[in-house]
Amino acid sequence: MADSSTSGELAASLRSLVSRMAPGERLPSSRDLIERYRVGPGTVSRAIAVLAAEGAVVTRPGVGTFVAPRRSRTAAAGDTSWQEVALAGREYDPGNATEAASPPPEGGVAMSGGYPHESLWPARALGNALARAARRPDAWHRAPAAGLEPLRALFARTAGGTVTAQDVLVTGGGQGALSMLFRAIAAPGGPVLMESPTYPGALAAARAAGLRPVPVPMDDGGIRPDLLADAFGMTGARLLYCQPTFHNPTGTVLTPDRRRQVVEVARAAGAFLIEDDFARHLGHGRPAPPPLVDDDPDGTVVYLTSLTKPASPSLRIGAVIARGPVTRRLLGMRYVDDFFVTRPLQEAAVELLSTPAWDRHLQALSGALRERCATLAGALQRHVPDWTVTRIPQGGLHLWVRLPQGSQATAVADAARSRGVFVNPGDRYFPAEAPGPFLRLNFAAPADLTELTEATTRLT
């Protein structure tokens, strides 16, 4: 085995070896494995750890590694039908809001999902930040319920305006925080106003909280304040969920005049406005407008952001910014739900955001997203000219594409899948009936520009 062999390859070789050995039989020593497979001690340790986690071997420090007793892989099938009765009366239907977690099959190209390809993650900076965080003497101490003070200050600085660290609650990413906000602010059975279209994860979280999503139409300037006022008046809603900057899925940015109007409409209705600013760090070169919470001293806006999109799906660190009694309620829910966000991850986030490497990463990410967006838009125009890109966004990860009238978005997505390209049909993004056939295409998910262009040719 060559020096470049990975611990995964060694684990596969050892797995084969173990399958031919008897339970209780001792594996070759680490020194023997190093010599036999020509790998380093660390590679051997990691491979043995993998097999131990699988239950294939048992390690005895100072003695050796032994084949574990064989376990029966067959078990009598249980009868879980009783759960249908036990769960009756508490409806939970996330619909098709969940994103595919597994990578596409070999040869397939993902243009679905909500994250950039791993090549766009700041892998080295993340590793260095985590290593530095782990060396802190208090890294494994209990974290404050509201989050580490330095991290809260960093999020407050990003929001700008009069926001202070005391207004910030650190969360375990954005999705869980969104679920918490819906449960904390609105009563089950009540309405929640949402842009149409909107983020499917928000629709799922609202429905799981027992809320009733009510669509408010958008145009090129974002959500329409006049129809928003009508919706508040007709439904009596006390909550609006919106994405004013680089909206998912359309990429729309709420116009400057409407930004103030939307907050004023919500305030006049005595309602909260959840501002989901998930794409704050996903701009394509131009500065993003300031958040709505930047100019909201009265606590109408509850602000939500996260580091998972620009950094990594596994950096589950986000923040909620709120003022007034709702802050105490959210902190109370933290004590009920999970006490605090794991401290090592918070420490790593502080390390990451405090270094020049983070700014360099954001600059590189901005250029890469801009290039990918232009590449996909141009390829679509060449290969599927009857598809209409609704806008070239100035930020975010997606293009929102209108299909020819009479098309069925699900059928088009199924046909693309049969050719090895995975896309999101647009029906899932609407709180009610879709006004037409749409697709959402993630230009950040493919491995590179070549794969992105190749995927587009398969859509024809």
Tens of pLDDT, residues 337-371 = 889 999 999 999 999 999 999 999 999 999 999 99
pLDDT for residue 205: 94
For the domain spanning 109-119+358-458, the CATH number is: 3.90.1150.10
pLDDT for residue 2: 43
Percent of the chain with pLDDT over 90: 73
- Indicate the pTM of the whole model: 0.83
pLDDT band (50, 70, 90) for residue 39: confident
Question: Over the stretch 12-27, which tens digit does the pLDDT of each residue have?
Answer: 899 999 999 999 999 9
Better-scored residue on pLDDT, 99 or 216:
216
Q: How much is the average pLDDT of 103-125?
A: 89
5 pLDDT higher than 60: no
Q: How much is the average pLDDT of 275-295?
A: 93
pLDDT for residue 341: 92
Residues forming beta bridges with residue 58, ordered by sequence position: 66
pLDDT for residue 1: 43
The Cβ of residue 353 has, within 10 Å, a number of other Cβ atoms equal to 20
pLDDT for residue 75: 55
Cα angle 238, 244, 246 (rounded to 5 degrees) comes to: 145
Q: Indicate the SS3 state at residue 248.
A: coil
Percent of the chain with pLDDT over 70: 94
Q: Are 202 and 194 in contact (CB under 8 A)?
A: yes
Q: How much is the average pLDDT of 88-99?
A: 59
CA atoms within 13 A of residue 59's CA, in its CB half-sphere: 15
Question: Over the stretch 246-270, which tens digit does the pLDDT of each residue have?
Answer: 999 999 999 999 999 999 999 999 9
Q: How much is the average pLDDT of 24-49?
A: 89
336 pLDDT higher than 60: yes
| Segment (H or E) for 29 | none
pLDDT band (50, 70, 90) for residue 4: very low
pLDDT for residue 95: 55
Question: Over the stretch 139-168, which tens digit does the pLDDT of each residue have?
Answer: 999 999 999 999 999 999 988 878 999 999
Q: Show Cβ contacts of residue 95 under 8 Å, excluding neighbours closer than 6 positions.
A: 200, 203, 204, 207, 428
CA distance 46 to 8: 8
172 pLDDT higher than 80: yes
pLDDT band (50, 70, 90) for residue 40: confident
216 pLDDT higher than 70: yes
Question: Over the stretch 47-76, which tens digit does the pLDDT of each residue have?
Answer: 998 888 888 899 888 888 999 987 765 556
Residue 113 main-chain phi, psi, to 5 deg: 80, 180
CA distance 202 to 428: 11
Q: Which CATH architecture has domain 123-355?
A: 3-Layer(aba) Sandwich (3.40)
Where along the chain do its domains lie? Answer: 7-67, 109-119+358-458, 123-355
Residues forming beta bridges with residue 274, ordered by sequence position: 241, 302
CATH of 7-67, one of 1.10.10.10, 3.40.720.10, 3.40.50.720, 3.30.465.10: 1.10.10.10
pLDDT for residue 3: 41
